[in-house]
Structure 1
Amino acid sequence: MKCKRLVTSFSVSTASLFQQRQGLLSGFPLDSLLPTPASAYPLRRVSSLQKILVQGYTTISLPFICSLLGYAVEKKVAKGKVGEKVGLPCCHEIPSTESLRNYRVYWQKNTTEVVLAYAEGKKISENERYDNRTELNMRNLTLWISPVEILDNGPYQCVVQHLKFLQNSVVPRIVCDEPVTLFITADFSEPSITAEVRSSSCESDDVVVRCSSHGGFPKPQISGVLNNASVVWNAIWVSESSISPYNVTGNLWLNVTEDTSLTCSIEYNGFAKSTSLLLKKRNDCVLPTIPPSSNVITASSIIIIVFLLAVTLAAKFIPRHVCSQCCMPQDSEEEDVKESMKTAELSKVTSETSSV
């Protein structure tokens, strides 16, 4: 967060509060108005108001004062995927002329749970849930978490105190106190699309389409595109809790009159996975048969009977007539040949007799 402008005015009660407790006047940077007692070790924040009375000190956090003065608070964000390594940036970097021995560093989650703490260069606290998964950069104080889990999702806070060593005491001064939000993502499976035809006609098919995906985080949005037009799914989300993996299923009822392209998309934390399916119109259309009327049946029967009688008569008389006309000429021709041969032989015999 950034709130660098000097304080030029306070309400009377707020100004007197700081003057009485710390002997500080308006016109100084806000950071100098935020002493933290050494007894706050490890530091623990108890409410969003963040006004804590400890050993006579009144400590009001920098975000709270910035909000009172109407200044915007810069929100830091870190993103990571389950199983990967992610770094949470801190609000202070130790100068090269100093070391971690001159500081106290507290990394907290949800303002109440200490993740990792260092004092005078030594680790003084580590949460069991983060055991062997956290590492602190000794220069820029970045908190590294690896591998990250879904439970790591949420708001964190880096609190840095600079230590001034006096003869018999250590006086801490808060250097920065800034939140950073970690957004964890777990990939969803590739969407699976299935289609079931409930009823069909020559004009259209009534189809139920289901799109499902599972195992992701956070809660996703499901969207669809049908032939370049957006469609709204009837979606159901299932998860054990708000910080558990999600399963999502969307249902869609469609009236398909032609081949149609459908795309289902699962969107989460800036990521998206999509699957497409071509819904084909069924072509096995069968027109209903209309039974013929009784008049049509009677007329058809008469026509068939007449046709059969005509065929029978034709088969009975036509072959004999043809045979009588084509067989008789052939027999007479054979007899004429025989008669001519006999005549020739008789003539030959007669001529021979005469010569003798």
Structure 2
Amino acid sequence: MRAQWGGLGAARPGKPQPRSYRKMVCLPATPLALRRRLGLWLLVGLCLSAGYALEKKVIKGKVGEKVGLPCCYEIPSSESLQNYRVYWQKNTTDVVLAYAEGKMISTPKNRTEMNETNLTLWISPVKILDSGPYQCVVQRLPRSLPSSFVVCDESVTLFVTADFTEPNITTEVSTDSCELTEMVVRCSSHGGFPKPKISGTLNNVSVVWNASWVSKSSLSPYNVTGTLWLNVTEDISITCSIENDGFSKSTSLFLKKTNECVVPTVPPPYHVITASTIIMIFFIVAITLTARYLRRHVRSRRRKPQDTVEEDVKEYHICRFPILGIPRCSPHRLLYSNAYCVDPLALWKGMTAAENSA
């Protein structure tokens, strides 16, 4: 029975097993998988090391500072620069510095120098235009060999940044009423690099600015301006932040809503102004004439005699019987009367009767 012979791979009694089958059973089944796993881990390690190396080759600096770009080779203490040829070049074609047998063989670029031991390229003061890839090439010049050979050839990238100015917040009121105030808020900053990001808050709530950037070229400083349109009904606090390359600058502004409601006065029409002016002129003229009249009247009163009896006595002519229509009068002193001629006899009788009755 097969069940008595044992499981898979057991030798059948009384019958020898072929050698090929014996070898197939005895060989391990895992070397290929192990090789694949080892290769995968090696690839991951190479990628990580390559990424780390690339990260190390990016040098950052700020405008105005002194920046050093490291080379991939350092001359041993037992040797000197005379045994090497060193090239520092930018963008693969623009030579910055070059040394051969310890002597400079190129005109150095402005603001650059090289350390003769570790071959570091120093730039001071650095500018935005200095940004870009740099390459360090080192060749050894052995005396026993007919030609030189390269011992180092690697690149390093310089990234230059510039700080932005402190953000400046300005406001402009477009409409102001008792209920609300419409205004335009602007936040601006300039002179920075690279292109920044503008953000902010309104009463501790994030807001999105309508941002615009201005730059002359890809390697020129930026000017940034953010704009907000607000309907202000209460006191507000505004914060503006400018961020670039991990650096941030912020400014805050507090705006107070005034509760005073002033209704603007409407100027009167032109015809009303004209009529009012004419009335004022007539009024002034009337006052002036009245004052002059009163002054003259007072002066004339001062010139009259003080005796009231004599004031009422005037000299009249007593009319007699007219002859041929021409009255003949003789002067007599009589009391004042509205009549042109007074009969003296009748006047005397009237005065006597008045005295008797008294």
TM-score w.r.t. the length of structure 2 is: 0.56
Question: Which deviations, in whole Å up to 9, do the C-alpha atoms of 1:261-312 show, x marking residues without a partner?
Answer: 1111112222222211112223223699xxxxxxxxxxxxxxxxxxxxxxxx
Asked if the contact 1:159–1:177 (Cα under 8 Å) also holds between the matched residues in 2, the reply is yes
Residue 261 of structure 1 aligns with an amino acid whose one-letter code is: S
How far the C-alpha of 1:71 sits from its partner, in A, is: 5.1
Q: Report the Cα distance in structure 1 between the residues aligned to 2:256 and 2:236, rounded to whole angstroms.
A: 6
Alpha-carbon distance in 2 for matches of 1:238, 1:190:
17
* Structure 1 residue corresponding to 2:231, chosen from 255, 268, 275: 255
Asked whether the 8 Å contact 2:139–2:148 carries over to 1, the reply is no
**Corresponding position of 1:156:** 134
Aligned to 1:110: 91
Give the 3-state SS of the residue equivalent to 1:164 in structure 2.
coil
Distance in 2 (CA, whole Å) between partners of 1:179 and 1:230 is 42
> Aligned residue for 1:126?
107
CA RMSD between the two structures: 2.4
Query: Which of the numbers 63, 73, 85 marks the counterpart of 1:82?
Result: 63
Question: What corresponds to 1:298 in structure 2?
Answer: none
**1:146 is aligned to 2:127:** no
Q: Give the conservation status (yes or no) of the 8 Å contact 1:154–1:181.
A: yes
Deviation by residue 1:73-131 (Cα, 9 ceiling, x = unmatched): 5231222222221111111111111111122211111122111111121111235xx23
Structure 2 counterpart of 1:241, from 213, 217, 228: 217
Counterpart residue identity of residue 237, structure 1: W
After superposition, residues 53-72 of structure 1 pair within 5 angstroms as: 72=51
| 1:212 to 2:192 alignment | no
Mapped to 2, the partners of 1:270 and 1:223 lie a distance apart of 14
Relative contact order (alpha carbons < 8 A, sep ≥ 6): 1 or 2 greater?
Answer: 1
Aligned partners of 1:194 and 1:225: how far apart in 2? 15
**Stretches of structure 2 lacking an aligned partner (at least 5 in a row):** 1-45, 265-358
Counterpart-to-counterpart distance in 2, 1:182 and 1:126: 21
Structure 1 unpaired stretches of 5+: 1-65, 289-356
One-letter identity of the residue aligned with 2:101: E
| Match of residue 170 from structure 1 | 147
- Which secondary structure does the structure 1 equivalent of 2:117 belong to? coil
**Following the alignment from structure 1 to structure 2, what is the Cα–Cα distance between the partners of residues 97 and 287?**
91
Q: CA deviation at 1:256?
A: 2.1
Give the Cα–Cα distance (whole angstroms) in 2 for the partners of residues 97 and 78 of structure 1.
30
Question: What are the within-5 Å matches in structure 2 for residues 342-353 of structure 1?
Answer: none
CA distance in 1, matches of 2:223, 2:136: 34
Q: For residue 151 of structure 1, report the CA deviation from its aligned partner.
A: 0.9
Count of matched residue pairs: 217
Matched position secondary structure for 2:219: coil
Q: Do 1:165 and 1:171's aligned partners in 2 also have CA atoms closer than 8 Å? A: no
Q: What is the TM-score when the length of structure 1 is the normalising length?
A: 0.56
Matching residue's letter, 1:171 = S
> What corresponds to 2:242 in structure 1?
266
% identical aligned pairs: 72
